[in-house]
Chains A and B, each alone.
Chain A
Amino acid sequence: MTERQKILGRIREALAVEAPFPGRHDVSGKPAPTSSLARDCLPFVGDSVDEQLAAFRQNAANLQAHFHLPGSRDEFKMQLIGIRDAGGWKKIATHSGELTDFALQSIDIPAIKTDSGYDMEELEKCDAGITECDALIAQTGSVLVTNRSAGGRALSVLPSHHVVLARRGQLLRDLPAAFEFLRRKYGANYPSMISFITGPSRTGDIERILVLGAHGPRELTIFLL
């Protein structure tokens, strides 16, 4: 008998006896299907785009992420150049994409593209990683990326400044919407990495004092175009 069969055998034997009702030690029986949808219990986000935008902006600020809402491509270009100069960027990393290509043209500095293969040490030395994303989530201020949409597994976490480029239509209301979106977009053929990035990397492991940039990016900048 394989270990798998033995373990599954023990599980089936164990489950022959019914457990009490969840959250109760004195009542047995099976719970009714969850009546309350997650959406109705989770933190509130309004229906309108303006409310969702306001929620995202507020959450991003709480998380110490930088959020920009440029009115035009030209304005975006100027803002990105400003960030490049303020950060003293010498080299960046990005991936192929309509928005990332435009960004790279705009700032005009040496860059590596992860999707044509890269060296880890070289990527680590880049001043910024510029990526696209799958969605932004208003409820939590998160950026939803996958290795397919954001230049692989490392680009959004190895360089010390992560710049995310998103389109207006990519703002989603809440976490349930994000999972619905993933199902719709990818079906069964999902990418091997799906990540919700909620603010720049952080730790509180020393006396519960917040420090940004533990292992991932110290800064997270989000552009909604």
Chain B
Amino acid sequence: MSSPVQQFKQAANVVAHDLQHRATIQTALEKYTVIRDQTRGAFRDYAAVRQAAAEIKWEAVNHLDKYLELFVSKLEARGAKVHWAGTGEQACEIILGVVREKKARSIIKSKTMTSEEIHLNEALELEGYEVVESDLGEFIVQLKKETPYHIVFPAMHLTRGEIKDLFNRKLAANTSDNPGELTMVARRVLRKKYINADIGLTGANFAIAETGMISITENEGNARLTAALPKTMITLLGLEKILPRLEDLALFLPMLATSGTGQPLTCYNTMYGGPRQPGEFDGPEELHVVLLDGRRTELLANAEQRDSLHCIRCGACLNVCPIFRNIGGHTYGTTYSGPIGSVITPHLRGLQGWKHLSVSSSLCGACTETCPVKIDLAHHLLQNRRDATAQKPARLWKLGFKFFAFIINRPAIYKLLAPLGRVGQKLHSPLKSTRLDPVYAWTKTREMPQIAPQTFREFWTNRK
């Protein structure tokens, strides 16, 4: 198997030249940009909202122990069972334990990126359980046996024609490529699944410490159904999802919607405070909440980049990133793609294996500028570059610069070598952009600047 960096380079090379793919992504993201700007414009003070959101998240993340304990005690007082998972494997094992104990057969799932991170579906399927994704985009990529392309729009890379073919092949649907009709096919299939599922599995967008609530943001109603019909509900969340107070949602719900999809508020924003309570007549009898560390505490220990735990997974930085727009979501080979993925993946999976993500950036700062909680993404990419090199110096690179410094500091040698550049370029020109070219990696897509016919020194001495 090829290394992440080789896989990344190969995929980027293919996707960046795929014009159809580019057109699909550009169209989708242009629509987003227009609506997002309109929605932002309705805020009385968007800059102040961003600063307030950043400060609330700062408060939560920098007092994480206090707020987590409060969250857990409040939720447990309402009859929920809270599980702590240090690693992804532990989280899978905990969930499998609940599924086995309930003698469950089928599991309906609403969207959770954290479950992608820990490969939960594979773990459940390996033991023979049926797991069905209910978010339309996730349902589509699950049928296609792909990972989500984007953390908010999992199937944004597919055209309606491709989805039609997929539904006709996998679901014997006999549908047209009309998006409305395609959606109704999924609706029909999934309604049966909700009713028959033994377990509803959800993610969470926010965890409210003060009241012990899980807040789920969605548009389709699939999470509402997942948390209403099955007898057992399991919620998996990263431990950084904490918000201190319930009324913080007055700010975060519209922020998440505006940044995520450009809507003023998504269709369903629901807070769950435990399983069915005495006197209530429907909803799950049991609620299991799995809190995942999964190396988040390592990110927490990095004070400089601690604010990357403020992330509310809105996907706004992906949408504006010129790299994401060109190489697409799958190229990253990570659960979280785009700028936030490039920042956190080296911490979650290892710096040396994933440092290439930090250099695959134009450092234009669009991500930093759009982030609703003001994560300093562009600087974090630089810090990851710095740390990767400090940990494992690039010796050849250093040697090259030493050589350069040696020459540039010695006028006599420089004078001797400078004209050689012109000769070198002449000799190089027949080889340029061929496989024999020693600097092919550069010249296959770029032009070398033409070396001037005379050096400045020559020009100065020869001037009349």
Which residues of A approach B to under 8 Å, CB–CB? 2-4, 6-8, 10-15, 17-25, 30-31, 34, 36, 38, 40-44, 59, 114-118, 120-121, 124, 140, 142, 147-148, 152-154, 157-158, 174-176, 178-180, 182-183, 190-209, 211, 213-217
Contacts and interface: CB of A to CB of B under 8 A. Distances in A.
Interface stretch (B14-22, B60-68, B384-392, B449-457): B60-68
Contacts of B45: 36, 40-41
Contacts of A140: 254, 264-265
B283 A147 contact: yes
A203 B195 contact: no
B52 A38 contact: yes
B273 interface: yes
Contact of B267 (A117, A175, A202, A206): A202
A24 B301 CA distance: 18
Given A14-B300, A201-B219, A215 B267 contact: no
B306 interface: yes
A209 B24 CA distance: 12
Nearest 3 A-B pairs (CB), nearest first?
A216-B221, A214-B220, A23-B374
Given A31-B59, A38-B250, A193 B283 contact: yes
Contacts of B49: 38, 41-42
A34 B282 contact: no
A120 B267 CA distance: 23
Nearest to A210: B179
A23 B246 contact: no
Given A192-B274, A193-B227, A179 B303 contact: no
Nearest to B195: A120
B328 interface: no
Contacts of B186: 214
Contact of B153 (A20, A43, A182, A208): A208
5 contacts: A14-B298, A22-B54, A116-B281, A140-B254, A193-B228
Interface string B52-76: 1011111101111100110000000
Contacts of A193: 227-228, 270-273, 283
B221 A3 contact: no
Contacts of A182: 246
Interface stretch (B1-9, B155-163, B338-346): B155-163
Contacts of B155: 205-206
Contact of A153 (B213, B227, B376): B227
B179 A211 contact: yes
A146 to B, nearest CB: 9
B64 A15 contact: yes
Given A196-B269, A201-B268, A215-B221, 12 more contacts: A8-B69, A11-B65, A19-B58, A22-B55, A40-B45, A41-B44, A44-B44, A153-B282, A153-B283, A157-B228, A176-B247, A196-B268
A115 B31 CA distance: 43
Contacts of A195: 224, 268-271
Looking at A6, A152, A193, the one whose CB has the most chain B CB atoms below 10 A away is A193
B447 interface: no
B48 A40 contact: yes
Interface of B: 24, 27-28, 31-32, 42-46, 48-52, 54-59, 61-65, 68-69, 78, 84-86, 90, 134-137, 140, 153-156, 158-160, 163, 179-180, 182-184, 186-187, 190-191, 195, 211, 213, 219-222, 224-225, 227-229, 239, 246-247, 249-251, 253-254, 261, 264-277, 280-283, 291, 293, 297-298, 300-301, 303-304, 306-307, 310, 374, 376, 379
B195 A11 contact: no
A203 B254 CA distance: 17
Contacts of A25: 304, 376, 379
A154 B284 CA distance: 11
Nearest to B282: A152
Main secondary structure of the interface of A (DSSP, over half): loop
A11 B297 contact: yes
A203 B219 contact: yes
A209 B267 CA distance: 15
B179 A207 contact: yes
Given A22-B57, A197-B267, A205 B153 contact: yes
B280 A192 contact: yes
A19 B310 CA distance: 12
A215 B226 CA distance: 11
Contacts of B250: 38, 42, 174-176, 178-179
Contacts of A197: 267-268
A209 to B, nearest CB: 4
Nearest to B223: A215
Contacts of A213: 183-184, 187
A193 B200 CA distance: 15
A206 B31 contact: no
A207 B374 CA distance: 29
A70 B277 CA distance: 36
A23 B85 CA distance: 30
B320 to A, nearest CB: 16
B224 A153 contact: yes
Contacts of A202: 219-220, 267
A117 B187 CA distance: 25
Contacts of B140: 205-206
A171 B335 CA distance: 42
Contacts of A36: 45, 48, 51-52
A14 B297 contact: yes
A205 B48 contact: no
Contacts of B135: 205
